[in-house]
Amino acid sequence: MPSVIFCDFDGTITKSDNIISIMRHFDPPGWEPIKNHILSREISIREGVGKMFATLPSSLKDEIIQYVVETAEIRDGFEDFVSYTRKENVPLNIVSGGIDFFVKPMLKPYDLENQLYCNGSDFSGNTIQITWPHTCDDHCSNDCGCCKPSIIRELADDHVQKIVIGDSVTDLEAAKLADLVFVCGDYLEEKCRELNLPYKRFTHFDEVVTYLEQSKEVVHR
């Protein structure tokens, strides 16, 4: 069965969550209670992310981009992982709850823009406004922002193995639709275990490549 991959960005392709890193560094008033409300699921991801960025002035755009590009670390093995998916014709979709203005510069070296699904941004007002080009379909009522389950339903059917790679709360609903989840964060691992979802822990992308290669060999035996 062919595979289709849906890979998170913040905390997965990068070693840390860039939204939280941005908020901690620029420290706008009131962002931390909003973050806590997202994690406790008192408010939706879309509402919370929108509120957090609205605490930042639009004039900080270039400074935020520079901060992320200079400080965010790409997880080991990612470049080889991208090359492997291309060599083997495995569709790789980057599904991110992050924001285009800092995600795209980080992914530019890998030529993944046409495979990227993330939130948008508007700097025309006094504060940063987030736009939502990938909202929930009729099957999702979680107000996700960038709705990963909706993207999975759009791009993959029951005739493919759906592989989700992620770390945190924004990946949970996608993980519920996956045939296999690669986990690099404690939150998602705990939820996969709790819900009995099939998962494998990984720390670098070479481990994902090794699994895909081994799975291919099993199929061809």
Q: Tell me the two tokens of residue 51.
A: 């509120």
107 pLDDT higher than 80: yes
Give me the residue spans of the domains in the chain.
3-16+72-220
Q: What is the average per-residue pLDDT within 120-138?
A: 97
DSSP state of 212: H
CATH superfamily of 3-16+72-220: HAD superfamily/HAD-like (3.40.50.1000)
Q: What is the pLDDT of residue 9?
A: 97
pTM higher than 0.75? yes
The one-letter amino acid code at 146 reads C
Mean of per-residue pLDDT scores for the chain: 94
Predicted local confidence at residue 221, as pLDDT: 37
Q: What is the pLDDT of residues 57-83, one digit of tens each?
A: 999 999 999 999 999 999 999 999 999
Query: Residues, the chain, total?
Result: 221
Task: Give me the mean pLDDT over the 148-155 stretch.
Answer: 96
- On whether the CB atoms of residues 137 and 97 are closer than 8 A, the answer is no
CB 46 within 8 A of CB 145: yes
